Amino acid sequence: MDVLDVVVIMLIGLWVFLPAMLPNSAAVVFGGGKPMDFGRSINGKRILGDGKTWRGFFGGGLAGVALGIILMGISYIFDKDGLWGYIDFWKGLGIVICLSFGALLGDLMGSFIKRRLGIARGKKAPILDQFDFVIGAFLLTALFHWRWVYDTYIHEWHILALIFLLIVTLLLHRAMNILGYKMKLKDVPW
Ligand code: CTP
Ligand code: MG
């Protein structure tokens, strides 16, 4: 194992995780219409809030899955046997669906916790805002593809892929929110 092998492990860890990174940004574009909680509240506080819509959920989710299929297509050109970490098409598709919808479920969980804490829709919640989707993506994927999560992000040097992923996520989240704000898709730069 030399340095280059570890760099490859880190880059593949990021590459295969991209379908988890797109859905929440895509949800901003597709979002609107009926909120997922249909406007309902618990103890006077919205269950999820107006920032979580059905259109955003399914639009964002399908965008993530579509991206995953494109990534597998690109991988196939260079790595016919392992699809650069996705293993094979059907296995990869299962992983991609879990990553994409797991990210959105994590985001819902984040909003649910924010509302319970009395934090209004769109108001800042450090850590939760940045990592709720990562947690959701890993939990759902580990549930159905534990071995893959272990081999890709935990086993030996692969833990560096996870650390690299978390750092990139933090930087990307910040950059995307500033971009969304500048493009007037979001009201606040976080
Ligand atoms: N969005 C959506 N449906 C989702 C997730 C997101 O429609 N399931 C859209 C909404 O327009 C939302 C925007 O994407 O306002 C940004 O998402 P996010 O930052 O997660 O929501 P917030 O509005 O900040 O609300 P919260 O405080 O609940 O995070
Ligand atoms: Mg937000």
pTM: 0.94
In a domain, 70, yes or no: yes
Give the mean model confidence (pLDDT) for residues 185-189: 79
16 lies in some domain: yes
- Domain extent, residue 64, equals 3-182
Q: Can you give the pLDDT at residue 162?
A: 98
Answer yes or no: is 148 within a domain: yes
140 belongs to a structural domain: yes
Atom in ligand 1 nearest the alpha carbon of residue 122: 24
Instruction: Output the pLDDT for position 180.
Output: 82
* Tally of structural domains, the chain: 1
Question: Residues 105-128: pLDDT tens digits?
Answer: 999 999 999 999 999 999 999 999
Question: Is 89 part of a structural domain of the chain?
Answer: yes
Q: What is the DSSP string of 2-55?
A: -HHHHHHHHHHHHHHHHHHHSHHHHHHHH--SSBTTTT-EETTEESS-TT-BHH
In a domain, 27, yes or no: yes
- Please tell me the distance between residue 133's alpha carbon and the centre of ligand 2 in angstroms: 12
Atom of ligand 1 nearest to the CA of 57: 8
**Among 28, 36, 112, 173, residue to substitute to test ligand 1 (most atoms within 8 Å of Cβ):** 28
| Residue 190 belongs to some domain of the structure | no
If you ran DSSP here, which 8-state letter would residue 35 be given? Answer: B
pLDDT of residue 79: 93
The model's confidence at residue 187, banded by pLDDT at 50, 70 and 90, is confident
